[in-house]
């Protein structure tokens, strides 16, 4: 018996719908929904254990996976089973986690798991745009302590018109690709890439998405009401002590304020704050610390946060002595590493990134093999954040989700500035060597300079900046902070990263921690970010004003040529013999792809030496050589025959043809050697193709003056030829007649 199913439908306003359904699947989960649009179906389940963990944070895991069966495919690789998540899946996990996590109570520490699975795929639906909706809808059906319903939506803009949750095909013609996460009241998360749009245009896109998200949040509430809203579970509240909190606050606030006001470096400041904390703890006995020492640490952190925020709001000063719009000192250097294809160092205050660029062929493209998308990237960026960059020692256990996310942001910031005709596959790697605030934006800046150092003809340089916000709803005061420190990231109400050229925004990532942030504050923050970006851009262009005209001498040079489809096999050779020998002799890498539209062969030649590249090009010219009627070519005699000479085109070695004895000279030639010999080099004229043999016809005599008194031989008389044929037939008939006569004679005998 099929259980009762509850369903809500969301109208996207253009004929498309999203449905949310519950009651049929995964009923032992604390909340489960199936979200569907077209043929795309996502199953989301949520479970949270009832016992509290002894932790000071929420152990929340958001997991998003795409099943290959959803698109009727097998997983690639040797093991035919889905394994570790792809970068695309990790990025979707981060998008959902960043919106959900702040909405759980600060004192809720039960292990919580949100599992989102793509079960059925539709080419016209991008599933990541519905993952946040699915997660929130499932939580609304549970008994979790969760503040309010949220949803996420993608915004595109085609021909000036905004589109909600566009298809992948629509995104190709869009100048905006943004994901917005929000509740009905407040925008909470923004991430995306743009084609040099203005701050006002970005704000309009956010507003457009928010209106649709409000509708999606209302649908979740209706579904929960119809299903039967559960009572929120009770859980042990964290221990609180108001008197102790006031005591710690009184002891800490003024001292912290004074240190913050003095302006100091990260380690010096951290040591001073630690001394204050230790001095406060020293006022308690060992028994008291054993009883409520954790509360003392907690209340100290609150006092420290309050003092630092007040300093900024009251005096416009920050922890390192800067004013709100000041950018830390910057120094840059390019061509730092002697053997890489391109490199650059970007240092801003206590944040430093070293970027390298490697150039390759299409063979080095980053292959993307997901159930929802198959393709490749010829520009990609990897970001590494080792523990020493923050003065820590900890084990490295693979690439973290944070590294994937920060690398993706920097990649999206830069990729639009790589010209469409760039022949290379470009890999940028950022090594973060120091970190105290926005290493991802340092990566963008270092990546820009490294690419220009490598000779990539970027359309425009790109810079990035991390911004913060401190606000007080009671007084209405707020301060927008340019180029935030790591500490300011944690204590602020909003942190957002913006990248762009001098003409507009190329990417952004924003997390808003306060409710009801006004759009006027957002626009003000974005415009202050623009001033900071332009300041940083000036520093980059001081280090390297424009891309180098060519790649480094030791970097590979790339030449791309197209050949007709029928010559691909000849270039490869039997078993790859021709291309392998050519690569061995020239020292070049040769990659052949087929244009899916024209079916031409696209040949990529990558080599450090021009001689090797020229040798490959000469071989291709030789293989694809087609002489033109009436043109003159230089040839060399490579073989002597009784009826002519075999000659090879000197500009196309390997291409040979017969120079018939009748085309050697105007005079009658008895012996070929009377005119030419082995190894002779001379010009011939291409006069077409022999209709009988279908082979080239070339002539030496066509380039020589006719001898005086020369008479052309009369053309063959076809009518006489026809008579001879008839005569032959007559002779044949006579032969048969004679044979019959002889037979008759033998019979008479």
Q: How do residues 604-642 score in pLDDT, each as one tens digit?
A: 999 888 889 998 988 888 888 888 888 898 889 999 988
Q: Mean pLDDT of all residues in the chain? A: 90
> Of 75-79, 99-103, 319-323, 550-554, which gets the smallest average pLDDT?
75-79
CB within 8 A of 636, min separation 6: which ones?
A: 647, 648, 650, 679, 680, 681
Q: Is the pLDDT of residue 721 over 50?
A: no
Q: Is the pLDDT of residue 744 over 60?
A: no
Q: What are phi and psi of 351, to 5 degrees?
A: -120, 130
Residue of 381, 436, 434 whose CA lies nearest to 405: 381
Per-residue confidence (pLDDT) for residue 728, from 0 to 100: 47
**Better-scored residue on pLDDT, 670 or 497:** 497
Q: Is the pLDDT of residue 724 over 70?
A: no
The confidence band for 736, taking pLDDT boundaries of 50, 70 and 90, is very low
Q: How do residues 388-429 score in pLDDT, each as one tens digit?
A: 998 899 998 889 999 999 999 999 999 999 999 999 999 999
Rounded to an integer, the average pLDDT of 336-351 is: 95
Residue in this structure with the two tokens 């409520």, named with its chain if needed: 292
- SS3 category, 652: coil
Q: Kindly list the distances between the CA atom of residue 412 and the CA atoms of 249, 409, 448, 581, in Å, as whole numbers in the listed order.
A: 44, 5, 12, 40
Per-residue confidence (pLDDT) for residue 743, from 0 to 100: 52
The confidence band for 714, taking pLDDT boundaries of 50, 70 and 90, is low
In the structure encoding, which two tokens stand for residue 631, read together?
């043109």
**320 in a labelled binding site:** no
- SS3 category, 671: coil
Residue of 462, 445, 547 whose CA lies nearest to 194: 462
Residue in this structure with the two tokens 């007040």, named with its chain if needed: 310
Cβ atoms of residues 529 and 467 within 8 Å:
yes
In the chain, what is the straight-line distance between the N-terminal and C-terminal CA atoms, in Å? Answer: 109
**595 in a labelled binding site:** no
Q: Is the pLDDT of residue 734 over 80?
A: no
Rounded to an integer, the average pLDDT of 11-39 is: 95
> Of 137-146, 166-175, 515-524, which gets the smallest average pLDDT?
515-524
The confidence band for 715, taking pLDDT boundaries of 50, 70 and 90, is low
How many CB atoms sit inside 10 A of residue 553's CB?
A: 8
Find the angle CA(542)-CA(543)-CA(544) to the nearest 5 degrees. Answer: 95
Per-residue confidence (pLDDT) for residue 56, from 0 to 100: 84
741/735 Cα distance (integer angstroms) = 10
Q: How do residues 523-580 score in pLDDT, each as one tens digit?
A: 889 999 999 999 999 999 999 999 999 999 888 888 999 998 888 888 898 888 889 9
Per-residue confidence (pLDDT) for residue 296, from 0 to 100: 93
Q: How do residues 185-226 score in pLDDT, each as one tens digit?
A: 999 999 999 999 999 999 999 999 999 999 999 999 999 999
- SS3 category, 749: coil
Rounded to 10 deg, the angle between the 401-415 and 87-100 helix axes is 100
**Better-scored residue on pLDDT, 345 or 738:** 345
Residues listed for the chain: 749
The confidence band for 735, taking pLDDT boundaries of 50, 70 and 90, is very low
Residue 41's DSSP bridge partners are: 36, 120
Q: How do residues 155-165 score in pLDDT, each as one tens digit?
A: 999 999 999 99
In the structure encoding, which two tokens stand for residue 308, read together?
């630092």
Q: How do residues 275-330 score in pLDDT, each as one tens digit?
A: 999 999 999 999 999 998 899 999 999 999 999 999 999 999 999 899 999 999 99
Per-residue confidence (pLDDT) for residue 747, from 0 to 100: 46
- pTM summary value: 0.84
Q: Is the pLDDT of residue 357 over 80?
A: yes
Residue in this structure with the two tokens 């990609």, named with its chain if needed: 380
The confidence band for 730, taking pLDDT boundaries of 50, 70 and 90, is very low
Q: Is the pLDDT of residue 711 over 90?
A: no
673/191 Cα distance (integer angstroms) = 79
Q: Is the pLDDT of residue 522 over 60?
A: yes
Q: Is the pLDDT of residue 733 over 50?
A: no
Per DSSP, 323 falls in state B
Rounded to an integer, the average pLDDT of 674-682 is: 90
Rounded to an integer, the average pLDDT of 104-119 is: 96
Rounded to an integer, the average pLDDT of 3-27 is: 94
Q: How do residues 249-269 score in pLDDT, each as one tens digit?
A: 999 999 999 999 998 888 899
């Amino acid at each position: 018996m099929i259980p009762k199913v509850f369903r809500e439908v969301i109208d996207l306003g253009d004929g498309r719908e999203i449905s949310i359904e519950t009651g049929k699947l995964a009923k032992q989960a604390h909340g489960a929904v199936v979200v569907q649009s077209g043929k795309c179906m996502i199953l989301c389940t949520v479970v949270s254990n009832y016992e509290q963990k002894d932790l000071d944070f929420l152990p929340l895991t958001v997991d998003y996976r795409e099943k290959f069966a959803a698109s009727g495919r097998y997983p690639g690789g040797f093991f035919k089973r889905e394994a570790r998540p792809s970068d695309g899946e990790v990025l979707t996990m981060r998008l959902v986690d960043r919106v959900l996590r702040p909405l759980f109570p600060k004192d809720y520490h039960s292990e919580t798991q949100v599992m989102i699975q793509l079960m059925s795929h539709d080419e016209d639906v991008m599933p990541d745009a519905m993952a946040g909706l699915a997660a929130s809808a499932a939580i609304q059906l549970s008994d979790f302590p969760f503040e309010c319903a949220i949803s996420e939506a993608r915004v595109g803009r085609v021909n000036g018109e905004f589109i909600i949750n566009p298809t992948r095909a629509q995104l190709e013609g869009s100048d905006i690709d943004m994901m917005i996460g929000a509740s009905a009241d407040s925008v909470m998360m923004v991430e995306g890439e743009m084609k040099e749009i203005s701050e006002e245009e970005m704000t309009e896109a956010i507003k457009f998405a928010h209106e649709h998200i409000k509708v999606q949040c209302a649908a979740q509430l209706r579904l929960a009401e119809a299903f039967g809203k559960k009572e929120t579970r009770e859980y042990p509240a964290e221990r609180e002590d108001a008197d102790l909190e006031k005591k710690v606050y009184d002891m800490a606030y003024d001292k912290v304020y004074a240190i913050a006001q003095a302006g100091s470096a990260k380690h010096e400041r951290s040591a001073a704050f630690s001394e204050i904390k230790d001095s406060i703890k020293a006022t308690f006995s060992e028994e008291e610390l054993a009883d409520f020492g954790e509360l003392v640490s907690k209340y100290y952190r609150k006092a420290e946060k309050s003092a630092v925020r007040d300093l900024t709001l009251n005096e416009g000063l920050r922890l390192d002595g800067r004013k709100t719009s000041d950018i830390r000192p910057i120094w840059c250097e390019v061509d730092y590493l002697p053997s890489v294809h391109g490199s650059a160092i970007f240092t801003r205050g206590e944040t430093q990134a070293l970027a390298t660029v490697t150039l390759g062929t299409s063979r080095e493209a980053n292959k993307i093999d997901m159930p929802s998308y198959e393709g490749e990237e010829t520009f990609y960026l990897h970001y590494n954040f080792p523990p020493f960059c923050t003065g820590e020692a900890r084990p490295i256990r693979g690439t973290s989700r944070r590294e994937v996310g920060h690398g993706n942001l920097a990649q999206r910031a830069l990729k639009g500035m790589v010209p469409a005709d760039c022949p290379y596959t470009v890999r940028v790697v950022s090594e973060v060597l120091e970190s105290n605030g926005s290493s991802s934006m340092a990566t963008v800046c270092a990546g820009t300079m490294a690419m220009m150092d490598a000779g990539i003809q970027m359309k425009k340089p790109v810079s990035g900046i991390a911004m913060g916000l401190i606000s007080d709803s009671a007084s209405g005061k707020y301060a927008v902070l340019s180029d935030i420190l790591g500490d300011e990231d944690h204590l602020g109400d909003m942190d957002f990263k913006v990248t762009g050229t001098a003409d507009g925004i190329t990417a952004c990532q924003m997390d808003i921690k306060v409710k009801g942030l006004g759009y006027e504050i957002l626009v003000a923050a974005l415009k202050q970010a623009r001033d900071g970006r332009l300041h940083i851009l000036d520093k980059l262009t001081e280090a390297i004003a424009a891309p180098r005209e060519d790649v480094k001498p030791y970097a590979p040079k790339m030449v791309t040529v197209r050949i007709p489809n029928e010559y691909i096999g000849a270039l490869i050779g039997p078993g790859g013999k021709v291309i392998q020998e050519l690569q061995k002799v020239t020292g070049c890498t040769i990659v052949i792809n087929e244009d899916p539209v024209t079916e031409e062969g696209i040949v990529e030649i990558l080599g450090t030496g021009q001689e090797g590249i020229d040798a490959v090009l000469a071989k291709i010219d030789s293989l694809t050589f087609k002489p033109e009627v009436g043109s003159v070519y230089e040839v060399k005699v490579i073989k002597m025959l009784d009826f002519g000479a075999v000659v090879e085109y000197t500009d196309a070695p390997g291409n040979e043809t017969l120079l018939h004895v009748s085309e050697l000279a105007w005079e009658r030639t008895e012996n070929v050697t009377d005119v030419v010999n082995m190894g002779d080099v001379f010009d011939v004229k291409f006069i077409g193709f022999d209709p009988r043999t279908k082979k080239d016809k070339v002539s030496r005599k066509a380039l020589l003056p006719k001898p005086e008194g020369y008479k052309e031989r009369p053309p063959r008389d076809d009518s006489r030829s026809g008579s001879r044929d008839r005569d032959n037939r007559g002779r044949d008939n006579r032969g048969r007649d004679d044979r019959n006569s002889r037979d008759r004679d033998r019979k008479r005998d």
